Amino acid sequence: MEHKKITDIGGSFKLHNGVKMPYLGLGTYQADNDQEVIDSVKDALEIGYRHIDTASVYENEAGVGQGIKESPVAREDIFVVSKVWNSEQGYDSTLQSFEDSLERLQLDYLDLFLIHWPVKGKYKETWRALEYLYDQKKVRAIGVSNFLQHHLEDLLTDCNVIPMVNQMEFHPYVVQQDLIDFCNKNTIQYEAWSPFMQGKVFDLDICKELSKKYNKSVAQIILRWNLQKGVVTIPKSVHSNRIATNADIFDFELSNGDVAYLDSLDRGERIGAHPDHFDF
Ligand code: NDP
């Protein structure tokens, strides 16, 4: 997986069903469901992003959909992702949640639908609903988020479709290389959420050092590290200048030593909840 080809902003990694997932996307968590998210989606698409990540719990799917609608980029050229929230899990309620997401987004299919968190006693039923939606061709790929190895092993013993993606907290303080290796071995594409630690990464000395060394911003170093590790990444910004510079990462390459250096910072320090101990 480390040898996946990185070309330009339009590039993608191939999922195990052959669907191409653009490796750089726009995150939208905490982007307001008004002109803010509409403009950031339109700006990202204009700059060349072809992947937008939202979720029902972000309460901004309507704005995301509006941004897509107002953009001149064709729907079929955009990879749109949403997620079923914890309180919506279960078979029928997941099907309903999917339809609600589509309606808010003003779309008739999604490119990827994810189980947001591994809700105990629920996620297998939820997965069956995702398999149904996939069979019905209402979604081009299905996956999970916040699934540790034991959640994946449990699901893999009992599924018809292997998840195509696992979206996880991923940044220098939470690398979880064992989980990445497990996903790679099982053809599950790894994807990073909060690649900037919601802003904290900009204060890390090593990132500042690498920034100087490569003459690129800390944000660019981090995103380039994600891609060189074969990890899809979805940095969030609502500022068009940042959305643009976050995508200016295709004219340099980190050395293997510096990739390993960033990997070595892992200390299992999460900014989000632990997937075994969340209470929402
Ligand atoms: P990020 O790590 O992407 O950090 C976002 C923060 O960084 C914002 O405050 C943003 O500010 C700032 N920022 C962005 N670019 C720059 C830059 N170039 N220079 C300085 N500051 C910058 O955090 P998120 O938690 O938003 O994670 C990314 C995405 O992952 C989410 O938006 C969401 O789509 C997804 N996610 C999924 C989760 C899951 O459970 N599956 C959980 C959390 C997130 P500003 O917007 O003001 O520019």
How far apart are the CA of 235 and the centre of ligand 1, in A? 5
Closest residue by Cα to atom 6, ligand 1, is 198
Say what the pLDDT of residue 82 is: 99
At which residue do the structure tokens 């101990």 appear?
A: 277
Residue 255 CB neighbour total at 10 angstroms: 11
How far apart are the CA of 125 and the centre of ligand 1, in A? 30
- Catalytic residue (choose from 23, 49, 58, 123): 58
- Reported pTM: 0.98
* Residues 83, 56 contacting (CB under 8 angstroms): yes
Say what the pLDDT of residue 1 is: 45
Q: What tokens were used for 212?
A: 């100087």
How far apart are the CA of 244 and the centre of ligand 1, in A? 14
Q: What is the pLDDT of residues 147-190, one digit of tens each?
A: 999 999 999 999 999 999 999 999 999 999 999 999 999 999 99
Say what the pLDDT of residue 39 is: 98
Closest residue by Cα to atom 35, ligand 1, is 193
Q: What are the phi and psi torsion angles at 61 (to 5°)?
A: -60, -35
Sheet of strand 165-169, all strands in order from the earlier edge strand to the far edge: 26-27, 51-53, 79-84, 110-115, 139-145, 165-169, 189-193, 232-233
Mean pLDDT of 238-263: 98
CB-defined site of ligand 1, < 6 Å? 27-29, 53, 116, 145-146, 167, 193-199, 202, 219, 234-239, 242, 245-246, 272
Going from N- to C-terminal start, the domains of the chain cover: 23-263
At which residue do the structure tokens 């999917």 appear?
A: 98
Average pLDDT score, the chain: 97
Res. 3 pLDDT band, cuts 50 70 90:
low
Query: Which fold is adopted by the domain 23-263?
Result: TIM Barrel (3.20.20)
d(CA 2, CA 156): 23
Res. 210 pLDDT band, cuts 50 70 90:
very high
The rounded percent of the chain whose pLDDT value lies above 90 is: 99
Q: What is the pLDDT of residues 33-89, one digit of tens each?
A: 999 999 999 999 999 999 999 999 999 999 999 999 999 999 999 999 999 999 999
23 is catalytic: no
Q: What tokens were used for 106?
A: 């003003």
Residue 2, pLDDT above cutoff 90 = no
